[in-house]
């Protein structure tokens, strides 16, 4: 291990905004069992009380990397609290250091595996989830995709009713897979776009009008238009009183996103809710049956390995 990483790990221990739980705090082996089980961490349900300057709605970014997106959203919205989650301590160091040096009281970071995420958040503790340029797991397990039914089940345990899941990705494979999961579970799409910087974002895409049209599975993107939306987390003219700053979808960018845009690659976006009024709480999410993985895997091309290479510094 290089001296740079050792220095960052040591400095991470000094950042109050960075929580780095050890495995023993979230994993336990019941007496007489050979299997480890996930258990609640002490921070669960207490983020506003323990980690932030004041209690406010909480937004979580999963797979935040160096935390640039988390930091940018937090600067844009001081009326909300933001938590970036990643397993790489050397990456989290950058965001935690910036939040500490700039005294950002609405920023925190959590170092953990995303598979353990519901050990850290209580029911309705989180208002929004951002998934930014997640690994689409082109050839990996479906359950490893962060929009799989397995992960949506985890999110549903702590996302507040009406809470929003945002997916921003350069992977059309992951975008189309997520659309299939949404259809399989009758979830409400609030906004969507397959090339948001060229064609904008379609808003108010309800289940009914989405089903009344032929889905653009293999015929390219829908014609989209960028909406006129009130800035800030205020009431907007979108369907069902959607309340989020749609402009941040365009104006806040990750490192990879900026790089992809310079290369002329399209960026996709989805916003949707997990609420399912016709099913009991805790009911499992259904797996999609209409996703053509082979087609979208071939359409994706080889650049996926490029976008998820580890970074230095």
pTM confidence score: 0.84
Lowest mean pLDDT among 19-23, 26-30, 141-145, 185-189: 26-30
Is the pLDDT reported for residue 304 higher than 70?
no
Is the pLDDT reported for residue 66 higher than 80?
yes
* pLDDT band, residue 278 (cuts 50/70/90): confident
- The class level of CATH for 3-19+40-307 reads alpha beta
State mean pLDDT over 288-307: 80
State mean pLDDT over 22-49: 89
State mean pLDDT over 227-240: 31
Structure tokens at 88: 């790489």
Helix (H, G, I), strand (E, B) or coil at 81: strand
The pLDDT of residue 139: 87
Is the pLDDT reported for residue 207 higher than 50?
no
Cβ partners under 8 Å of residue 270, min gap 6: 165, 166, 167, 175, 178, 179, 182, 189, 191, 192
Q: Is there a contact between 223 and 294 (Cβ–Cβ < 8 Å)?
A: no
Q: Where are the domains of the chain?
A: 3-19+40-307
Q: Is there a contact between 52 and 59 (Cβ–Cβ < 8 Å)?
A: no
Q: Is there a contact between 216 and 222 (Cβ–Cβ < 8 Å)?
A: yes
The pLDDT of residue 244: 60
* pLDDT band, residue 310 (cuts 50/70/90): very low
State mean pLDDT over 180-208: 83
Euclidean distance between CA atoms 154 and 142, whole angstroms = 15
| Residue pLDDT, tens place only, 138-187 | 988 999 999 999 999 999 999 999 899 999 999 999 999 999 999 999 99
Cβ partners under 8 Å of residue 193, min gap 6: 199, 200, 201, 202, 221, 224, 268, 269
- For the question of residue 135 being annotated catalytic, the response is yes
Is the pLDDT reported for residue 52 higher than 60?
yes
Is the pLDDT reported for residue 83 higher than 70?
yes
The pLDDT of residue 230: 28
Q: Which of 40, 86, 135, 278 is catalytic?
A: 135
């Amino acid at each position: 291990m290089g001296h740079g990483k050792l220095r960052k790990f040591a400095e991470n221990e000094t950042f109050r905004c960075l929580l780095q739980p050890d495995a023993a705090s979230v994993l336990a082996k019941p007496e007489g069992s050979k299997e480890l089980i996930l258990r609640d961490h002490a921070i669960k349900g207490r983020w506003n009380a323990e980690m932030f300057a004041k209690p406010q709605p909480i937004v979580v970014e999963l797979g935040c990397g160096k935390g640039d997106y988390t930091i940018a959203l937090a600067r844009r919205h001081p009326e909300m609290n933001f938590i970036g989650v990643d397993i790489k301590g050397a990456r989290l160091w950058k965001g935690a250091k910036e939040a500490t040096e700039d005294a950002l009281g609405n920023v925190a970071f959590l170092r953990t595996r995303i598979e353990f995420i519901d050990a850290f958040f209580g029911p309705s503790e989180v208002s929004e989830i951002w998934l930014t340029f997640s690994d689409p797991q082109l050839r990996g397990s479906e359950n490893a995709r962060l929009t799989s039914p397995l992960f949506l089940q985890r999110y549903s345990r702590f996302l507040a009713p009406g809470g929003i899941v945002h997916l921003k990705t350069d992977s059309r494979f992951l975008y189309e897979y997520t659309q299939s999961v949404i259809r399989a579970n009758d979830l409400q799409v609030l906004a969507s776009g397959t090339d948001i910087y060229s064609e904008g974002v379609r808003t108010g895409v309800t289940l009914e009008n989405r089903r009344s049209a032929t889905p653009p599975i293999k015929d390219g993107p829908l014609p989209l238009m960028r909406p006129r939306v009130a800035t800030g987390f205020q009431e907007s003219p979108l369907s069902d009183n959607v309340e989020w700053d749609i402009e941040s979808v365009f104006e806040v960018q990750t490192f990879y996103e900026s790089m992809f845009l310079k290369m002329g690659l399209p960026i996709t976006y989805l916003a949707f809710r997990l609420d399912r009024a016709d099913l009991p709480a805790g009911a499992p999410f259904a797996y999609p049956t209409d996703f053509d993985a082979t087609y979208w895997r071939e359409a994706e091309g080889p650049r996926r390995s490029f976008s998820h290479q580890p970074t230095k510094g």
